[in-house]
Structure 1
Amino acid sequence: MTSGPNLPKPEFDIEATVERAMALINRTLQPSLEDARKAVDKARASRPLVAPGDLVSPVTRGNRMRAARAVSYSLPSILPGFGTAISAAALPVALREVLKEAVSAAIKVGLLHDRDLDDPELTRIAVLLVLTEGAVKLDKTGRIRPGAILGRHASLLGQPASYDALAALTAEERQEIAASQSEIIRAWALAVGPPLLAGLLPFGVGPMAAANYVQYVLRNTITAATGVFGPAAPVAVTVETIPGSEVQQDGPES
């Protein structure tokens, strides 16, 4: 009894894949602001009394669904061997599509919180901050070090309403962040890419696992965007912090 043909096992190099992806995804950081505004305005019109935070999920649902469909590039993996090789070659395209939807979702979060995103440079560095924060949270290897990427601006990560701090930066300081764009995208791709390799598992199991992971990536991005674009946490005010002239004391009526 002879065994079946021995199909070659595809070799996969995540570093090389990320480098190929970089050429595709560097152009994805400026989504259509007009389309994002239409989606936000439509959601606000249908639910005028709903707080911005409660509109984030319905407004970004389309982004999450489209990102999950990006793993359809892994569908050839249902055929072991050559099918997996085809899927591996298509992974950079899938990464680009996931990034595109992540950036679009971040922009919508900014608009929901009434941020002025008409300044393309300020918007771009805000999105870069969102991606950096997302990459740090997704990274399980410890290889992504914010200080090495953002330098002194790494302190902005995790800072509530960091968009306000970005808006207050000088042009030179903003350029320092913008100059790290390639490193930020590469860090994001290295954090997102390896788990997407699950999409290369044969017989259809991989794409399902990858789709679930992409949903997680988008939720992570939306959480980071809410931190960047959202309002600062309210400051608790006590009687001791109110100026004395504003504190009214109960006393006998004159």
Structure 2
Amino acid sequence: MTGGFNLPKPEFDIEATVERAMALINRTLQPSLEEAQKVVDKVRAGKPLVAPGDLVNQVTRGNRIRAARAVSYSLPSILPGYGTAISAAAVPVALREVLKEAVSAAIKVGLLYERDLTDPELTRIAVLLVLTEGAVTLDRTGRIRPEAILGPHASLLGKAASYDALAALTAKERQEIAASQSEILRAWALAVGPPLLAGLLPFGIGPMAAANYMQYVLKGTITAAARVFGPAAPTPVTVEEIPGPEVQRDGPGS
């Protein structure tokens, strides 16, 4: 008998994968403020005099580690064929886990900068802005166009302390951003998803590459969150703008 047994080669459709992921990640945007505050308070207690910007990495360390562990869903891919197919079916779950850690990290950064996150609507649109920045940074295809997603509010991307600008929006303007939630999450998933498929490469090479990429994704999210929730950049002051002492000169008749 000369015939061999050939395992089927799985085929991947990133669009279909994103569609499956959307049903899961839409429910991941409500992290526990109480749990996030406990982490921030613990770090703050140990270093009360350190500036928030210098504590961001320490506060979000757990999120980065857990995001990297999300690629464990790809571990069956170490077995070529059926193992890879099983891992492909788990990609939406991995996307959800990475999104959960990204949102949690963003919330911790906001609390670290002592932002009031008790308004759920304002907090949500701030997180959506962070995710949009992350998606734009990760996108290498040019398919993600911020103006098409956020309209005039796309001007907030990349600006320091944009949380202050969000807080100043009218209720109608906030709703315009909130209404773009599905598009924002889709853009984020499309930016994160394709490289995550590298985790499906067999023999353990893929999961290692995907874990490193998830760390990269979280670092970008954290950078965006620090920009959104952090303070505005100081305005440079030139010598001419510094008021000098008024000098009263004595006249000839004094």
Q: What range is the shorter-chain TM-score in?
A: over 0.9
Q: CA RMSD in A?
A: 1.5
For residues 183 and 161 of structure 1, the distance between their equivalents in structure 2, rounded to whole angstroms, comes to 23
1:160 corresponds to which residue? 160
Matches within 5 A, 1:183-198: 183-198=183-198
1:40 counterpart residue number: 40
1:248 aligns with 2:248: no
Matched pairs, number = 250
Q: Which residue of 2 aligns with 1:83?
A: 83
What secondary structure is seen at the aligned counterpart in 2 of 1:193?
helix
One-letter amino acid of the structure 1 residue matched with residue 16 of structure 2: A
How far apart are 1:251 and its partner, in Å? 7.9
Q: How does 1:91-110 map to 2 (within 5 A)?
A: 91-110=91-110
Between the aligned partners of 1:202 and 1:77, the Cα distance in structure 2 is: 5
Aligned to 2:213: 213
Give the whole-Å Cα distance in 2 for the aligned partners of 1:198 and 1:204: 11
Pairwise CA distance, 1:4: 4.1
Between the aligned partners of 2:208 and 2:239, the Cα distance in structure 1 is 56
What is the one-letter code of the residue matched to 2:245? Q
Distance 1:148 1:55, change over 3 A: same
CA drift at 1:16: 0.2
Give the alignment of 1:63-74 within 5 angstroms.
Answer: 63-74=63-74
* CA distance in 1 between partners of 2:96 and 2:116 (Å): 26
CA distance in 2, matches of 1:2, 1:229: 66
Which consecutive residues of structure 1, in runs of 5 or more, have no partner in the other structure? none
Asked whether 1:120 is paired with 2:88, we answer: no
Question: What CA distance in whole angstroms lies between the structure 1 residues aligned with 2:112 and 2:50?
Answer: 11
1-side partners of 2:62 and 2:2: how far apart? 50
Mean CA deviation greater in 63-72 or 231-240: 231-240
Partner of 2:252: none
Shift of 1:11: 1.1
Q: Distance in 2 between matches of 1:27 and 1:235?
A: 40
Number of the residue aligned with 1:6: 6
Cα deviation, residue 238, structure 1: 3.0
Task: After superposition, give the CA deviation of every residue in 1:22-52 in whole Å (9 maximum; x if it has no partner).
Answer: 0000011110000000000000000111110
Aligned residue for 1:142?
A: 142
Shift, 1:237, TM fit: 2.1
Q: Detail structure 1 runs of 4+ shifted over 3 Å in the superposition.
A: 1-4, 249-252
User: Which whole-Å deviations, capped at 9, do the CAs of 1:146-165 have from their partners, x for residues lacking one?
Assistant: 00000010000011110000
The one-letter code of the counterpart of 2:224 is A
